[in-house]
């Protein structure tokens, strides 16, 4: 299989797909739609949105929705991730639960782009977002 290179163009494409995914958000309580798009090691892209529940602990974030869709379709390695929060005034990073799940399926150098518009984006790596991940020893 050909190695996939994550270019800035690919990150921009992922962000556009995350923005589109946010339109499907079910967020009647927070009124805060979020979309995510994940590029997997086999070249597929999976999207997700946040899905709220009035029992707020049962809510699922966009990032985990996309990740769980990918895993349920056989993709277990992520190469890049984009998160869109179109109703925020600034880039909003993933929550701690999402960071933990993302590091389960991605290496420290996986790029993560997040923001509220094309003009207001932040780029980091999984390692920068979750710098002291100590659970990788469990997989060995």
> pLDDT digit string (tens) for 77-98?
999 999 999 999 999 999 999 9
- Cβ atoms 46, 66 nearer than 8 A: yes
pLDDT of residue 140: 55
Phi, psi for 113 (deg, rounded to 5): -115, 135
Q: Is 104 designated active site? A: no
Alpha-carbon separation of residue 8 from 4, 13, 39, 88 (angstroms)? 13, 9, 13, 23
pLDDT of residue 133: 76
**Active-site residue identified among 63, 73, 104, 137:** 63
Listed as ranges, residues in the chain with pLDDT below 70 are: 1-2, 134-140
């Amino acid at each position: 299989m050909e190695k996939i290179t994550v270019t800035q163009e690919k990150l921009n494409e992922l962000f556009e797909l995350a923005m589109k995914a946010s339109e499907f958000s079910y967020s009647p309580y927070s009124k805060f739609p979020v979309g995510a798009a994940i590029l997997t090691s086999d070249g597929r892209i999976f999207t997700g949105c946040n899905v709220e529940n009035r029992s707020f602990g049962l809510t699922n974030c966009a990032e985990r929705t996309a990740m769980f869709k990918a895993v349920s379709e056989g993709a277990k390695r992520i190469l890049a991730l984009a998160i869109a929060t179109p109703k925020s005034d600034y880039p909003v990073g993933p929550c701690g639960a999402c960071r933990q799940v993302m590091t389960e399926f991605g290496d420290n150098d996986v790029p993560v782009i997040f923001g509220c518009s094309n003009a207001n984006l932040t780029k980091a790596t999984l390692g920068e977002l979750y710098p002291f991940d100590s659970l990788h020893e469990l997989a060995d």
